[in-house]
Amino acid sequence: MHNTSVDDSRTTNAQSHSLLDDIVGISASALLASVGVFLMDSGHVVTGGIAGLALLISYATPLSFSVVWILASIPFLPLAVWKKGWNFTLRSLVAIVLVSLFTQLTAMNLGPLDIDPLFGAVVGNVVASIGVLGLFRHRSSLGGFNVVALIAQEQYGWRAGYVQLVIDLAIVAGAFFVASPMIVLYSAVGAFVFNFILALNHREGRYNG
C-alpha cells in the first residue's frame, strides 16, 4: 500500500511541467492558435469565443483583429483572478498577448491569402483548438469565454467544449449581419469542429501537468 502511494506520487511529479516546459508550451500553443486565426481570417469566416467576436468586429469596423482581441479580453481578467487565481490569469494574459503578436507576424510573413472559406473554417479551427488544448494543459487559456467554460466544467461538471459551443454558436449567429448565409454556415461548422475537439480531449483528470 505504501509503495503504491509512492509510485503514484512519483507519477504525478513526473507529469508536472517545469518553468521551461511552460514557456515553450504556452509559446508554441499561442503560435498554433494564431495560425488558426490567420486561416480563418484568410477564409473570411468567424469562429466562437473572443477570437470569433474579434474577427467579427474587425470585419465590420476599421479596427484590426489584434486590437479588438486585446480589448475584448481585458474584461474577463478579473473573473479569471477571482475564480482561477493569479497564476492562471497571468499565464492567460501572456497567451493573449502572444496570440496578438503572432497573428500580426503571421499575416506580415505569409501575406494576404485567398483560400476557400470552408477550408479556412475547418482547418483554422482544428489548428486553433490544438493550440487551446496546449494552453489548457499548461494551466493557461486564451481568456474570455475560455475562462467561463473552464469554470463551468470545474464547478458544475459541464464539459468545457460543450459550454463553449453554446456561446460560440451565439457569436457565429452574429455573422449574419456582416456575411452571407453560406459563410455563416461554414463558420458554424468550424466552431463545432473546434469545440468537438475540446470536448473529446479536455476532460477533468485526464491530464495532469
All structural domains of the chain with their residue ranges: 19-201
Q: How far apart are the C-alpha atoms of 144 and 95, rounded to whole Å?
A: 12
The reported pLDDT for the residue numbered 28 is: 97
- pLDDT < 50 regions, the chain: 1-14
Q: How far apart are the C-alpha atoms of 75 and 73, rounded to whole Å?
A: 6
User: And the C-alpha cell for 164?
Assistant: 463553449
pTM across the whole model: 0.81
**DSSP assignment of 111-132, as one string?**
------HHHHHHHHHHHHHHHH
User: And the C-alpha cell for 72?
Assistant: 475584448
The reported pLDDT for the residue numbered 1 is: 43
**CB of 160 within 8 A of CB of 198?**
yes
The reported pLDDT for the residue numbered 14 is: 45
How confident is the model over 50-79, as pLDDT tens digits? 888 899 899 889 999 989 988 988 888 888
| Residue 142 C-alpha from the chain's centroid | 5
The reported pLDDT for the residue numbered 185 is: 93
How confident is the model over 155-168, as pLDDT tens digits? 888 877 688 778 87
